[in-house]
């Protein structure tokens, strides 16, 4: 039986990052993967979707070339080529992880791993043992009883990335990050898209001002949006699919070629041996302490299978903390209140910390500042004036409570707020930090100036 210091189960951005950090710390490490290295994120999630969205963005630019004084005759797209490019990007990233495994001398064990008592993992009949086993098996598309996926007419995100034929009409159920990203992509490609959202606002975890702005931008782009609406029944017996949608006005039947179910995720914790080992699970999540130790010594869990936010960067951070703690290093537990969230539709969305509503519900005395990109020179020059930056500060101490952005490229701007909050910066310190002009990022400074009644360009 092969013996390791650490075995990681799953090779997504949680698993492979964990394995690399473990190897850097001198642990003899192995990683178990049943499909492709990189997991869902690199192969069927974060990376290939961004490739699709980039193609959509370029196509949008071509369609609006005249706005920039350019003449492009009849811009067309090749749907198959767009999908092929996306798959090529994913394949390249997966190969990159293979290289990293080799570089860091990590053994890759291909196959389905199952936990065994006594700190062992069985992979397709062969047993391996380790002093520490880290579960990083991730999650998949969640299915609703009223919306069973058949992989053809009712699909999840995985099929949405590699359709052989572009649908003329699509219904997207759910308006979280996955739903709105695919809604933007397919709408940009020319598909007639309808979003059905159960809650009153699209992207419901975001600040309400952001939600309202995205709804305006999407409607301007021709996307039909139904909020406070629920798909109660689907009929796939005909050529396409019919969805019965219940709203406050009654029931309505929508027809489309395909329904994309984007109603959240389901953790991959079935049949991996949790019950055999005695690891405690609550509501589809493995229960862990601040450093990802389960109730059974020697078994840890990180990423989507645990109660934290189901985000790639969270899984990576958790994995690094987990192995550093195993190595006896002095580490701080992760601050889940300072995790940035990013959505890559157009306009992009990025946020961290409390929304205005959450801050008020906590009874905090706050200062709120907002700066629209319509007043930004860089946004005007780039032709991307939709959106704004919104900041929330504690009125007494100047603590940066939250930052919410919607607009072009804001996912690359949010780190300023994350770092500022980590360093416990105040509103006045942000205001006095000189921001370069003309940039989109100076909208952060301008929003802070608005909060303190010192805004210049508004």
Active site residues: 437
Distance CA 205, CA 113 (A): 34
Q: Strand 388-394's sheet: what is its strand order?
A: 341-343, 348-353, 400-407, 388-394, 366-372
Tell me the DSSP string of 7-68.
EEE--STTHHHHHHHHHHTT--EEEEESS-TTHHHHHHSHHHHHHHHHHHHHHHHHHTGGGG
Do 372 and 447 touch, CB atoms closer than 8 A? no
Per the rule left: phi > 0, alpha: psi between -120 and 50, beta: everything else, 421 is alpha
Helices of type H across 370-414: 377-382
| Residue 222: burial class (beta carbons within 10 Å; 0-12, 13-18, 19+) | exposed
Nearest to 332 by CA among 321, 344, 320, 319: 321
Neighbours of 106 (CB within 10 A): 23
Helices of type H across 269-414: 274-277, 312-326, 356-361, 377-382
């Amino acid at each position: 039986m092969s013996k390791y210091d650490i075995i990681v189960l799953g090779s997504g951005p949680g698993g492979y990052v964990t394995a690399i950090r473990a190897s850097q710390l001198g642990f003899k490490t192995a990683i178990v993967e049943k499909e492709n290295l990189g997991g869902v994120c690199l192969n069927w999630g974060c990376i290939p979707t961004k490739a699709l969205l980039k193609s959509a963005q370029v196509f949008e630019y071509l369609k609006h070339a005249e706005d920039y004084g350019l003449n492009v005759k009849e811009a067309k797209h090749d749907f198959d080529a767009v999908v092929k490019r996306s798959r090529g990007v994913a394949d390249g990233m997966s190969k990159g992880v293979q290289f990293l495994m080799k570089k860091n001398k990590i053994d890759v064990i291909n196959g389905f791993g199952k936990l065994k008592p006594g700190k062992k993992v069985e992979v397709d009949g062969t047993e391996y043992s380790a002093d520490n086993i880290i579960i990083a098996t991730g999650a998949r598309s969640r299915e609703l009883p009223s919306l069973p996926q058949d992989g053809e007419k009712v699909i999840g995100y995985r099929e949405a990335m590699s359709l052989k034929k572009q649908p003329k009409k699509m219904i997207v159920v759910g308006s979280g990050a996955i739903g709105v990203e695919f809604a933007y992509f397919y709408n940009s490609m020319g598909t007639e898209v309808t979003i059905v959202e159960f809650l009153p606002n699209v992207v419901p975890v975001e600040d309400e001002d952001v939600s309202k702005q995205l709804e305006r931008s999407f409607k301007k782009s021709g996307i039909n949006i139904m909020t406070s609406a629920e798909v109660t029944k689907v009929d796939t017996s005909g050529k396409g699919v019919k969805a019965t949608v219940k709203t406050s006005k009654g029931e309505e039947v929508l027809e489309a070629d395909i329904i994309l179910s984007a109603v959240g995720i389901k953790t991959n914790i079935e049949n991996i041996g949790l019950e055999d080992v005695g690891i405690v699970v609550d509501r589809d999540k493995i229960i862990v302490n601040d450093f990802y130790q389960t109730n059974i010594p020697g078994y840890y869990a990180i990423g989507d299978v645990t109660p934290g936010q189901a985000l790639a960067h969270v899984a990576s951070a958790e994995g690094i903390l987990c192995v550093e703690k195993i190595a006896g290093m002095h580490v701080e537990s992760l601050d889940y209140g300072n995790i940035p969230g990013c959505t890559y539709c157009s306009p992009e969305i990025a946020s961290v910390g409390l929304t205005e509503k959450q801050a008020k519900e906590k009874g905090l005395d706050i200062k709120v500042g907002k700066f629209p990109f319509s007043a930004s020179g860089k946004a005007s020059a780039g032709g991307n004036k939709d959106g704004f930056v919104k900041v929330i500060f504690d009125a007494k101490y100047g603590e940066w409570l939250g930052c919410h952005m919607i607009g072009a490229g804001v996912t690359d701007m949010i780190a300023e707020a994350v770092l500022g909050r980590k360093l416990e910066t105040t509103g006045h310190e942000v205001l006095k930090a000189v921001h370069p002009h003309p940039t989109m990022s100076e909208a952060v400074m301008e929003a802070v100036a608005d909060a303190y009644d010192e805004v210049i360009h508004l």
